[in-house]
A and B are shown apart, each in its own frame.
Chain A
Amino acid sequence: MTIHPLLAATLILATGLVHAAAGPMGYADARHLLARTGFGPTDAEVRNFAGLSREQGVATLLRDTRTTAVTPVPAFALETGPTGAPRGDNVSEETRRAFAQLQTRNGIELRGWWVQEMLVTSSPLTERMTLFWHNHFVSSQQKVRIARSMYGQNALLRAHALGNFGAMLHAVSKDPAMLIYLDTAQSRKGQPNENFAREVMELFTLGEGRYTEQDIKEAARAFTGWSIDRDTAQYLFRPGAHDYGVKSVLGRSGRFDGDEVLDILLAQPGTSVFVTTKLWREFVSPEPDAAEVRRVAQIFRGQNHDITAALRALLMSDAFWAAENRGTLVKSPIELVVGTLRQFELSPIVATPFAIAVAGMGQNLMSPPNVKGWPGGEVWINSSTLLARKQFLDRLVRSSEARLPGGAPAMSLQPPMRSATMKAREPALARNDDDAMASEARLVAAPSLPAVADDEKARARRAALSVERGMRNLQFDATQWVAQRQGATAAARMEVAQGLLLPLPPVAADTPNADVDATTFMRATLLDPAYQLK
């Protein structure tokens, strides 16, 4: 019996397809998976995953994800006694200011702590998801003020990051930072504050258009009484403030409390679709496929809102792996900075300057712009943020050039941060770390502190200085890093490097060739527009 040539071709093709799904995914796929779910994978990490099938890779990624941080938590964050927040009218202005400054300083330390965790964690997906939920269940230090409450929320989001969405919703709704941020703590029977009721429907569960203004008013009554202890800022239910009357929410009526309203929201199919759509934009592409979102949302809902189940379905979707979806997502500032440091295996002693660098690119951790969070995507990139990103990358490569004996690199630009003013200021700042920290504190928090009449330029300068201090301690050697890549020739090693660093072929950078030295090549690659994408 002979096999028809066409049939034979079909069989070979089919075998090939099966092989592609079950066999080793290879370097490019592994790079894609790790870049999309973590921060800038190293060459070694990509090689480890390249031998796995896509399914094995996704399973490995989702197995044993961390629920706590490895980085030691700053002491202030774990205190449980009185916060010392000034109350009432007879508190002096100095006392108020001292408290505000302490909280601001602690808040900066906390941002540095989180960036440190992102840099060192063995479970980058946990931190990506913690950040994702921080941008979903938004609270901001600017309003909450109490830094340890911001830590409490961060720990809560990490604990649930890949766990159960419903459990997280219930927990975060009683979280002190959230109770302060969306005014639930101030809401009482007869005078319900609608802020939380509105956002829990619009931004946390259903999405706009799936509820009415009346639903908000009724739900707001159910959340009355969810409050905080004014001394310790811990959750406290105040029965006297709770409205025990009948409420009607989304077609159901009863003497609901807040938890029952949350369960009503969780039971709506719209919630799983809304959250899945947001996960799609985070991990797959800027344009969700409605049918695929519905399919994944059904899995998410069918598995009792298990976040890992939703992620598994998304990461195993054809769309996730599709060639046309690669390099279509813009890296967030934190992904750019942490990813760059991780992929070059650079470990800063203090991570705070990098939290400040990220803030300068439009992502001040723990202080999203409003309750909707950072819009992300193309909005990350405008003329101001793009230049801040490039300045960071340029500085990193120049730290490498500075180590080269004998001088000026071929493509040197005017160094933007080496003005005479800065040199003159540097020793003064370096002498006193407290001063440096305080100025960093003002830098990040000034918009919320009316008493501080700060100068934009001085702030920008302090930011640059702080980043400069952080960068100076890094030991980055671009030439050596390129030399460590696999490849018989310099050009081949550069090509491997480019394949790791860029999700798409370079747009502006030169094709590697023997004439270009490694530093020049690395500079062109990192400053290439394609490096902003994942």
Chain B
Amino acid sequence: MNRRHFLRASAVLPFARVATLPLAAFGSAQLAVAAAPTTADYRKLLVLVELKGGNDGLNTLIPYRDAAYYALRPKIAIPADQVVQLTDQAGLHPALAPLLQLWNDRKLAVLQGLGYPDPNLSHFRSIEIWDTASRSEQVLQDGWLTRAFATAPTPRSFAADGVIVGSNDLGPLAGSGTRAIALADTEQFLRQSKLAHPGAAARNKALAHILRVESDIVQAAGHLDGRPSFKTEFPAGGFGNAIRTACRIIANPSGVAVLRVTLSGFDTHANQPATQARLLKELAAGLVALQSALTEIGKWDDTMVLTYAEFGRRPKENQNSGTDHGTANVHFAIGGRVAGGMYGTALDLARLSGDGNPAFALDFRSVYATVLERWWGVDSRQALGGRFAPLPFLAA
């Protein structure tokens, strides 16, 4: 079949995965099970927010009554009177004040002490562990969402399994078989998608990969047209733009299961206070805009937002008013059906390991298990390489 014939065929059958069929030889698990019926409910959307570089959790959720905290951080601790108090023990960085309303509405779950056994302090290795949900010493190729979608595929009518906004790194959607679209801007994507060129014969792995991306582009472009407008005003800056792009994609009726946006710059080895304050301010403004826009289009109750990062930072500040790579960290789950409150346990600053890092209290794979089993209704063992107990941060 030559290219023109192919294009005609795919115009008639826009959802058919004709172009990727020859790729089955390269082990696309998704294709093998694509026909199987699924009970997964992917109308519920997951929005992942990566705090790239390793956000300092200890200055995000501040144990403002803990003397050990102030002893470890003489220069960069947040004074108790500036903390946005959530409980009589802990409160948020002042730049996160806009999230207080979500907390008061019981829609903000604070997940404390997230980590994993035998932590790795390298950025790429640790984010790889988070993205692939591997054990510390285990190297996996596919992202945890890629494996989840292989077990329980998203509807074929979806524009894509997931969209990565504003980054070329596919993270939890990396690997073969998943329909992941990376874009910075939907209109630009639609214009350019006309250059995609699916073909039939895949001679080697690299070529198979290229052909798969070509056909994913054609499918996504078939669905992401239309220019929804929002009353919500999105904040200026890269993160605000990413949130706006995400909202436009979500507004499209054909659906995606997951979106990932990234806020970068959290690797604060030096002069942390100003940098982190700026980034957390952007984060809060972006999340509030996301809530507002999704409420407008009636999707907020079907949305769960999760933050994540490669690691937390070391409790003891360094010589440069910064913090070095650490381990356990705090993250947020936000959404219309989130059961707000504190989960896990606060970092025990009195008992730090030899390298000065706290023990973790919650395995991050339990958070993923919550998404897979409680949010989507998908078995999580395949995706997570074992059984991890879901957490109760979703309202029944």
Q: Please list the residues of chain A having a beta carbon within 8 angstroms of any beta carbon in chain B.
A: 183, 186, 188, 191, 193-195, 198, 202, 208, 213, 217, 286, 324, 327-330, 362, 369-372, 377-379, 381-388, 390-391, 394, 413-414, 416, 446-448, 450, 453-457, 460, 504, 507-510, 524, 527-530, 532-533
Contact = CB atoms under 8 A, between A and B. Distances in A.
A414 B181 contact: no
B206 A286 contact: yes
Contacts of B210: 330, 381, 386, 529, 532-533
Closest 5 CB pairs of A and B: A507-B199, A508-B199, A387-B192, A390-B195, A384-B182
Contacts of B205: 286, 328, 378
A188 B320 CA distance: 11
A390 B220 CA distance: 17
Given A327-B207, A381-B213, A382-B170, A509 B195 contact: no
A504 B207 contact: yes
Given A198-B122, A378-B205, A378-B209, A186 B214 contact: no
Contacts of A327: 203-204, 206-207
Given A416-B191, A453-B236, A508-B197, A387 B241 contact: no
A382 B182 contact: yes
B40 interface: no
Residue of A188, A208, A378, A383 ringed by the most chain B CB atoms within 10 A: A383
Nearest to A202: B122
Contacts of A370: 123-124
Interface string B96-126: 0000000000000000000000000111110
Given A188-B319, A509-B3, A386 B213 contact: yes
18 contacts: A208-B122, A213-B355, A328-B205, A329-B206, A370-B123, A381-B210, A381-B213, A382-B170, A385-B168, A386-B196, A390-B192, A414-B194, A456-B185, A457-B185, A510-B2, A529-B197, A533-B207, A533-B210
Contact of B191 (A213, A372, A414): A414
B3 A510 contact: yes
B266 to A, nearest CB: 12
Given A377-B206, A510-B2, A446 B193 contact: no
B197 A390 contact: yes
Interface string B255-297: 0000000001100011000010010000000000000000000
Contacts of B237: 453-454
Contacts of A208: 122, 125
A191 B318 contact: yes
A447 B191 CA distance: 24
Contacts of B265: 447-448, 450
B355 A193 contact: no
Contact of B195 (A385, A507, A527): A527
Given A193-B324, A195-B269, A460-B184, A387 B122 contact: no
Given A446-B238, A530-B207, A383 B180 contact: yes
A385 B214 CA distance: 11
B33 interface: no
A202 B128 CA distance: 15
A218 to B, nearest CB: 13
B368 to A, nearest CB: 23
Given A387-B195, A390-B195, A460-B188, 20 more contacts: A183-B270, A191-B319, A327-B204, A330-B209, A369-B169, A371-B124, A379-B169, A379-B174, A381-B213, A384-B168, A387-B192, A391-B192, A394-B195, A413-B195, A414-B191, A447-B264, A450-B278, A508-B3, A508-B197, A529-B211
B183 interface: yes
Residue of A183, A186, A202, A456 ringed by the most chain B CB atoms within 10 A: A456
B204 A382 contact: no
B216 A383 contact: yes
Contact of B197 (A391, A457, A528): A528
Interface string B141-175: 00000000000000000000000101011100010
Residue of A193, A194, A529 ringed by the most chain B CB atoms within 10 A: A529
Residue of B168, B236, B238, B318 ringed by the most chain A CB atoms within 10 A: B168
Nearest to B240: A453
B203 A504 contact: yes
B209 A381 contact: yes
Contacts of B140: none
Contacts of B121: 198, 213
B106 to A, nearest CB: 33
B200 interface: yes
B263 to A, nearest CB: 11
A198 B275 CA distance: 24
A391 B204 CA distance: 24
A453 B195 CA distance: 31
Nearest to B270: A186
A386 B269 CA distance: 35
A418 to B, nearest CB: 10
Nearest to B175: A378
Nearest to A532: B210
Nearest to B274: A450
Given A286-B205, A456-B245, A193 B318 contact: yes
A460 B203 CA distance: 34
Given A198-B121, A508-B199, A378 B206 contact: yes
A390 B207 contact: no
Given A198-B121, A327-B207, A391-B195, A507 B183 contact: no
B217 interface: yes
A106 B320 CA distance: 27
Contacts of B197: 390, 508, 527-529
A507 B207 contact: yes
A78 B196 CA distance: 44
B198 interface: yes
Contacts of B70: none
B389 interface: no
A454 B191 CA distance: 22
A330 B205 CA distance: 10
A533 B319 contact: no
Contacts of B324: 193-195
A347 B367 CA distance: 54
A507 B211 contact: yes
A94 B33 CA distance: 59
B271 to A, nearest CB: 11
A456 B166 contact: yes
A369 B187 CA distance: 25
A295 B88 CA distance: 64
A416 B211 CA distance: 22
A101 B128 CA distance: 34
Given A390-B192, A453-B236, A529-B197, A382 B206 contact: no
B189 interface: yes
A528 B198 CA distance: 9
B201 interface: yes
Contacts of B275: 450
A168 B380 CA distance: 48
A456 B238 contact: yes
A194 B197 CA distance: 47
Contacts of B200: 507
